[in-house]
Structure 1
């Protein structure tokens, strides 16, 4: 009971009716500041020129040993969403040797707990700021403002004034001829998408923090991403999700290869054969005619299902619609990415997110630092060239 009271006191700055949170006056004043920048940024994206708003970075949390900070929500360009849509930095103290005194070990664990509390507080603040900043943009697009749903991709398209072309066997090219992505930029699109994604997880995530206290990181590591906003996922949790994605994709693609050619050999991470299969999985004409088993394998390879070993009727009845919506999301994201400057304009952190969203788990396995980023950039460039 005492632990619950302590955690409630730590999170007393948040309103119990989430996702509408009440923060201290200092933060409420700051969110109005960058809200104005985002609104002006979106309005300027409709014209011929784009004025870059001034920086409004939030001050870093002065907690030791964590260096987590509330990142700026200003849209600095047309392709990279604000840093506040990604997890902040988490730095924990160095581990002690086994021979360390008991008092030092106690201080170490207290410092680790404080680092995670600071990290989670920063993540929650970023969720609040991102959602508040997305409200005027949602209203301007005609999206319900107070429903934390991800906006469908068709709302970001403007119908072309040209006459409808004749029917083509390639439905994807026909749809591109009818629609023109001119209503927003990738940075704005990703801000709206990630803000809605994180707000939906606020209530269960905050309840876990209140009830579990310092044990929350272990509970969240076990539950996975279903209840954790993206801004609150610590490095070990992200790495676990990547490892699981690699295992799921290898099993799903091996099963797909066995069903198609009788061979259970995986095509190899990052290979052209693997990309060809992944690109086929997000083609809307393939999704429409694929069997339930094929839909399940596609969803598992793209991270939309935990396993492909499920009854075939579930693929046709439940997962086909999910895969179709995800394919529309990736098609729009690809188009906006090309219009925003391509892969070369993406930040390193955004490269990792974009590659994993397209099923590129394991493409840079065994590489680190700049070499891993270079491999991912090449993979994403090939993907964009295929999805034209």
Structure 2
């Protein structure tokens, strides 16, 4: 298994030259007892607001979409002015999302620099030395995910303006996570769950009993790829990605999940995980989340963590929660 390093999550070189905004004054908030800066779409002040840092098992609030406040239509309000006000709300939401990407970029650089200096850029060494929390990991991963999508999304936002929500639904893959509206998130998850369900129906091979992505057959690699959405669905129509690329993608995800599982345990388990964090963690592990309550979702994640003590990640990714070594239980410390 290859070593997962911070260099693999570094931002593009052109972003390294960005000068900090004079209002930010951001230091290493995730390594000292301070709080990250961000603002909501409904904020009227030019200065970013500040919120308390969440438990270290949760990612920073700035890595999630900000609240979207869409105004209600008045009884005597005509359609055109109403649509204009709705468009302004969406535009404010997207501006907030882009601002939060910049905030996350600044925060992630501080985390990267400290871990680089102490642990030679290796995630595993940072975890052992307690230099890296799950909050830090999610900051780095989500920041890298969003930074890669900024150029294309900025172009769409510049061209479409208030009409961006009508466009991005069809091209969701170019939208940073901080700029995804609730309907878009739900739509993406529904499509992924449909793709996952179809893949499970076609899966006939027995799941492995030992760890090791190199031992998986191509059909198993293809299933994990579809279930987790590691590549575009268009590849399904041409026979899927080449085996070498599939194995590399799956190997990286397995290594990430092993690291994430360990950091959740180090943070005390799932008791303090926020609902959206639980949903995101389950989606990353190939578990359906739509139409399920908080207790059931936390039960699934708890069952995953307990099952990991008896089975490798590869086996859990190739089976449904109903057949995991540990079935869904009430949340408990793991």
The TM-score normalised by the length of structure 1 is: 0.67
Shift of 1:250: 0.4
Does residue 68 of structure 2 align to residue 90 of structure 1? yes
Task: Decide which of 207, 216, 228 is 1:290's aligned counterpart.
Answer: 216
* C-alpha spacing 1:73/1:139, structure 2 compared with 1 (3 Å): farther
Q: Does 1:385 pair with 2:333?
A: no
Tell me the CA shift for residue 214 of structure 1: 2.2
Partner of 2:318: none
CA distance in 2, matches of 1:243, 1:201: 22
- Measure, in 2, the Cα distance between the counterparts of 1:302 and 1:181: 30
* Equivalent in the alignment of 1:323: 250
For 2:34 and 2:255, locate their aligned partners in 1 and report how far apart those are by CA, in whole Å.
33
Post-superposition shift, 1:82?
1.1
Higher relative contact order (CA 8 A, sep 6+): 2
Please state how far the C-alpha of 1:180 moved relative to its aligned partner: 4.0
SS in 2 for 1:37: coil
**Alignment equivalent of 1:158, drawn from 122, 125, 129:** 125
| CA separation of 1:75 and 1:193: change in aligned 2, threshold 3 A | farther
Runs of 4+ that moved beyond 6 A:
none
Distance 1:110 1:20, change over 3 A: farther
Choose which of 188, 191, 197 in structure 1 pairs with 2:145. Answer: 197
Change (3 A) 1:58 1:142: closer
C-alpha contact 1:37 1:74 (8 A) present in aligned 2: no
RMSD: 3.1
> Could you list the per-position Cα deviations for residues 148-188 of structure 1 after superposition, in whole angstroms to 9, with x for gaps in the alignment?
xxxx9x811129xxxxxxxxxxxxxxxxxxx9473311111
The answer to whether the aligner puts 1:260 opposite 2:205 as a matched pair is yes
Tell whether the 8 Å contact from 2:36 to 2:51 is kept in structure 1 after alignment. Answer: yes
Q: CA deviation at 1:94?
A: 2.6
**Whole-Å separation in 1 of the counterparts to 2:192 and 2:39:** 35
What is the alpha-carbon distance in structure 2 between the residues aligned to residue 181 and residue 374 of structure 1?
A: 33
In 1, are the aligned partners of 2:168 and 2:175 still within 8 Å (CA)? Answer: yes
Which of 301, 308, 322 aligns to 2:227? It is: 301
Question: Does the CA-based 8 Å contact 1:81-1:191 persist in structure 2?
Answer: yes
Cα gap change, 1:123/1:246 in structure 2, threshold over 3 Å: closer, same or farther? same
Shift in Å at residue 315 of structure 1?
A: 4.4
Paired position in structure 1 for 2:319: none
